Structure 1
């Protein structure tokens, strides 16, 4: 999760700017053919509704993950990109054959060239951009968290409802093959009434020498949307909700065990951190069972995410290597998902091009919803974003310190 370059001005203003006309777009960078996973996520049958999309933010995440995925999505055409760094926007547009580049997000939002946007700027800035997009009647995909406070998240959800647009949060892990299998098994009663769900995520990205996150960035500022609880535990909360239903928070604990990191601007100097890096959340499931969600991103031998799901009738275990095992009570645990087509992609928590099929699944559903299909859909909405904020937004608040942009 490298530090994005994009975002509105530091004081929250939308700066003035204009579109930059570009040379005739060249063919985008195409990789290998889509995997069986991506193919399975594509809609079939009815004619596709093609969405004209704008991307707000031309940082590393946009260039490394978002745009290579959008190139392979058949129902979305990326028509414009905006970044307050106009040169970054033009480079991204040139690299990916995007027709227009803007140095002002507001100029893109009011340009009339898109009917939807994907907002990929740091969380402290994204609510204002989201609000401006909703005011223009644009459909929105937001990165998580959708806001850094519960009240602000609720405001955005209400504004999206009033605007009558399709709204989504980029919780792409919902489209993981193993998670899809688990969701179906749970719905079919394989484990019966869920009694105990434990999830543990251990990562080393905050301490490894080669990781961008070993430096002090906004990811180490709770007030800017950073911290383990808002950046990683939020995904786990959302997955738990998508598999088992709403999660009622009962207790939580978080700590900041690395008080300072080398400054991103001056690596030889230490700068104080202001966000949690270890967190635990206990919640009650609709069945009355408990979920215990825990993890850290500053521990050695980071191995990813493991799930253990026990119910009145059976058990499901998703190992860190991506294999899914399960069994009814009294029977041994047998392999359920371990082949390449159904092995979990996200258990390693190592965001890479392997995640592209998951984002493709999300944006194809997003396009179908814009086209008028009634679902049911798998993607997370702003309502889901609010529920996640209610669970994690306050967890690292006591560690919050000075802003760092």
Structure 2
């Protein structure tokens, strides 16, 4: 039996804990959160007796085989390295770290400890997106020429929509749309198209002046609420990503992949995948996720896809093998290099070259 510890109550409640109910041979023995009431509320429905408001005490108090980390980004590197030093394998949420230097340190620590390492880019385990990867690599679309991805919402549009102290709005904590959503988009594009060669873009704070809805206190957001970038892939394809949380209306996530022989479109509003060969009409080729109907899993591709990711990681640990699927800390480092380059491009207002050869 693998002993699992979780740091961070919110995503544990939404995704990790329901998923572990469906994984044989692994049990969550301890959970830590910055607030003890949050830890208790998440742990109680699953009978987890050991709860903490100090993650270090949790790591010190248990012999853990796997630690899952879902905390503000600023804590990813120190928590990961401490868990590895204690002998645990690690699943870490995205974005990987505050910068590529921290991501490299996490990768080096995992290799030195000879522990498995995964970044929770769970959409690699979504059957619809996996089919897209297979079709791209199998040549169904021909040469990929360009990709358009837009993620537009209204959740940050109202100056009173975020509470004072919200870490997602604090650049010093690693918040912002670029890390929250852009990391997933970069990982998806790398998975589908291979490595990028250069990037240009911006990470911007459109609504910095905010007010706490409960107290009326004014405060300033420092993290980006709108980001966009264009990746020039080594293959020659162009991939454009636009992400905004400050629109007046939600328009969701739309993905379009354009090849010489065909086109794919995917909308998260209905999770329908459509394919059209050159000259033909679009046809629905959607793929159902067999885990979506399992009892206890929360709805949505993010919560459902976590189960398959954890199943692969737990199986690899038990079988003493490398990961066969998913994003490792190598992918996390390469994704972080792209995010860092978008930040650099925001300042330079020019293309930033990407050299992934040393990130292995």
TM-score by length of 1: 0.77
C-alpha deviation, 1:134, in angstroms: 1.1
Which residue in the other structure is 1:330 paired with? 279
Of Structure 1 and Structure 2, the greater helix share is in 2
Aligned partners of 1:250 and 1:160: how far apart in 2?
28
Write the mapping of 1:210-229 to structure 2, written as runs, cut at 5 A. 213=162, 217-229=166-178
Which residue in the other structure is 2:210 paired with? 261
**1:140-180 CA distances to partner (integer Å, 9 max, x unpaired)?**
01111221111111111111111111111111122223101
Which residue in the other structure is 1:381 paired with? 328
Q: 1:383/1:268 Cα in 2 relative to 1: closer, same or farther (>3 Å)?
A: same
Q: Secondary structure of the residue that 1:206 maps to in structure 2? A: coil
**1:283-318 CA distances to partner (integer Å, 9 max, x unpaired)?**
122321111111111112212111111112221111
Checking the alignment, whether the CA contact within 8 Å between 2:160 and 2:210 is kept in structure 1 is no
Write the mapping of 1:293-332 to structure 2, written as runs, cut at 5 A. 293-320=241-268, 321-332=270-281
Write the mapping of 1:75-154 to structure 2, written as runs, cut at 5 A. 75-154=25-104
Checking the alignment, whether the CA contact within 8 Å between 2:128 and 2:288 is kept in structure 1 is no
Extract unaligned runs of 5+ from structure 1. 1-49, 345-350, 400-405
Aligned partners of 1:376 and 1:116: how far apart in 2?
14
Aligned partners of 1:208 and 1:171: how far apart in 2?
29
Once superposed, what is the RMSD of the aligned Cα atoms? 2.8
Aligned partners of 1:306 and 1:117: how far apart in 2?
33
Checking the alignment, whether the CA contact within 8 Å between 2:19 and 2:307 is kept in structure 1 is yes
Which residue in the other structure is 2:192 paired with? 243
Which residue in the other structure is 1:363 paired with? 310
Which residue in the other structure is 1:54 paired with? 5
Which residue in the other structure is 2:121 paired with? 171
C-alpha deviation, 1:132, in angstroms: 0.6
Checking the alignment, whether the CA contact within 8 Å between 1:142 and 1:169 is kept in structure 2 is yes
TM-score by length of 2: 0.86
Aligned partners of 2:32 and 2:164: how far apart in 1?
26
C-alpha deviation, 1:86, in angstroms: 3.7
Aligned partners of 2:199 and 2:42: how far apart in 1?
44
Checking the alignment, whether the CA contact within 8 Å between 2:157 and 2:207 is kept in structure 1 is no
Aligned partners of 1:104 and 1:359: how far apart in 2?
25
**1:360-387 CA distances to partner (integer Å, 9 max, x unpaired)?**
0100000111123646633111111111
**1:2-38 CA distances to partner (integer Å, 9 max, x unpaired)?**
xxxxxxxxxxxxxxxxxxxxxxxxxxxxxxxxxxxxx
**1:302-347 CA distances to partner (integer Å, 9 max, x unpaired)?**
121111111122211113432111122232222211x7558x9xxx
Checking the alignment, whether the CA contact within 8 Å between 1:216 and 1:273 is kept in structure 2 is no
Q: Secondary structure of the residue that 2:319 maps to in structure 1? A: coil
C-alpha deviation, 1:352, in angstroms: 5.6
Q: Secondary structure of the residue that 2:250 maps to in structure 1? A: coil
1:285 aligns with 2:236: no
Q: 1:341/1:165 Cα in 2 relative to 1: closer, same or farther (>3 Å)?
A: closer
Aligned residues, how many?
Answer: 341
Aligned partners of 1:352 and 1:299: how far apart in 2?
27
Q: Secondary structure of the residue that 1:230 maps to in structure 2? A: helix
Q: Secondary structure of the residue that 1:124 maps to in structure 2? A: helix
